[in-house]
Amino acid sequence: MFIKNTWYVIAWDKEVTGDGLFSRTVIGVPVLMYRTEDGKLVAMEDRCCHRGAPLSIGKRDGDCVRCMYHGLKFDATGQCVEAPAQPRIPPQAKVRTFPVVQQHRWIWIWMGDPAKADAGLIPQTPWLDHPDWRSLDGYIHYDVNYLLICDNLLDFSHLPFVHPTTLGGGTDYASFPPKVERLDNGVRVTRWALDTEPPAFVKAVRKEWVGKKVDRWNIYNFTLPAVLIMDSGNAPAGTGAPEGRRVDAVEFRGCQAITPETGNSTHYFFAQPHNFSIDNPEVTKSIHQNIVKAFEEDRAIITAQQKNLAIDPEFKMVPFAMDAALSQFRWAVTRRLEQEAAEAAAARVPQPVTLHREPI
């Protein structure tokens, strides 16, 4: 149901503190996270291997965590290292752990075969902690399947309709057709809206553009499992932005990661770094607030859509040309799921999720 051999964003770095026990469910698996004394990130199933109690309501004990049901203690590798009064600790008493990497403010987790976890595959989001860029941390929880959010992000023709007072600018925005290119693991979407009204969230921080026209671009890669990295911006109309001259432009590097929580709920991590007015926190705040407001607009329409789809699972959607990118992305998801299913069948071994049932 979910892609396993891939990196998912599980948290903002600040969410996992040094002494706490942080819990978040990813693709249906509850995950406990904490940091060891030397700062190393630990991610393990948030479920004691003994009777299934959540470890996150247990207690830290040095670099270990103790389940507060029967007192079993697990080290950072998930191995049970102490069991009160037990003659012996069963060797299979081990909680599954997951590869995790912290990179540019996001913590990424690999829910599949640990042997395949190559940190080099993690998308780059350098603007999240680069001194020339500013942004605030965004997170929204959705009660819908993650693919409906992907659909939304893969077709910006909804901007003037869903976001008239935030991301929307000229009502002609939808009439500029995007270019959609297939990538190895997703799609690349390029949309230029020329000689158009700047979007409201840009006018809010560049008041002198009210009444003026801009050339506006949104160029992004949307790759598996569901990560959007976008170069977007606006420059005064006709100053050469389409040809690469960004004169007096406002630029953003949108970073968005959609992580399935369950089949019906999703984590949405986002930030909208900008490289202008970086010494003015009010600008950063204004941009962030408008983005949050816009994403709540998305959440409202997508949640309404999800309810409508749930009423009739047989409902067949009529495809339009604007669905090109989302159709390609959904095809890439399906292809990857089939590939993982085939690999699992070929290996004739239990899925990684059952590793903790195996003898060590």
Contact residues: its own copies, CB under 8 A: 25, 28-30, 46-47, 49-54, 57, 66-72, 83-90, 92-93, 151, 155, 157-158, 160-162, 174-177, 301, 304-305, 307-309, 311-312, 314-322, 354, 356-357
- Give the shortest CB-358-to-its own copies separation in angstroms: 10
Tokens of 218: 């949104």
Give, for 227, the enclosing helix (H) or strand (E).
strand 227-236
Nearer to its own copies, 113 or 155 (CB): 155
Roughly how many angstroms between the first and final C-alpha of the chain, as a whole number? 27
The 10 Å CB-count burial string (b at 16+, else e) for 295-305 is: bebbbeebeee
d(CA 194, CA 347): 52
Nearer to its own copies, 40 or 141 (CB): 141
- Give the shortest CB-193-to-its own copies separation in angstroms: 10
Count the Cβ atoms, other than its own, within 10 Å of residue 284: 20
Nearer to its own copies, 226 or 255 (CB): 226
Nearer to its own copies, 115 or 311 (CB): 311
Nearer to its own copies, 51 or 245 (CB): 51
- Give the shortest CB-334-to-its own copies separation in angstroms: 18
What is the DSSP code (8-state) at residue 316? P
The candidate with the shortest Cα–Cα distance to 144, out of 268, 23, 13, 294, is 268
Nearer to its own copies, 38 or 314 (CB): 314
CA 311 to chain centre: 28
- Give the shortest CB-139-to-its own copies separation in angstroms: 22
Count the Cβ atoms, other than its own, within 10 Å of residue 357: 11
| Cα angle value 218/276/174 (rounded, 5°) | 20
Assign 231 to helix, strand or coil. Answer: strand
Instruction: For the chain, state the CA radius of gyration.
Output: 23
d(CA 63, CA 333): 37
What's the one-letter identity of residue 67? C
- Give the shortest CB-308-to-its own copies separation in angstroms: 5
Nearer to its own copies, 101 or 322 (CB): 322
- Give the shortest CB-253-to-its own copies separation in angstroms: 26
The candidate with the shortest Cα–Cα distance to 296, out of 135, 140, 145, 137, is 140
Q: Phi and psi at residue 322, in whole multiples of 5°? A: -65, -10
Nearer to its own copies, 93 or 205 (CB): 93
- Give the shortest CB-156-to-its own copies separation in angstroms: 10
Nearer to its own copies, 210 or 341 (CB): 341
- Give the shortest CB-16-to-its own copies separation in angstroms: 20
Alpha carbons within 13 angstroms on the beta-carbon side of residue 207 total 2
- Give the shortest CB-68-to-its own copies separation in angstroms: 5
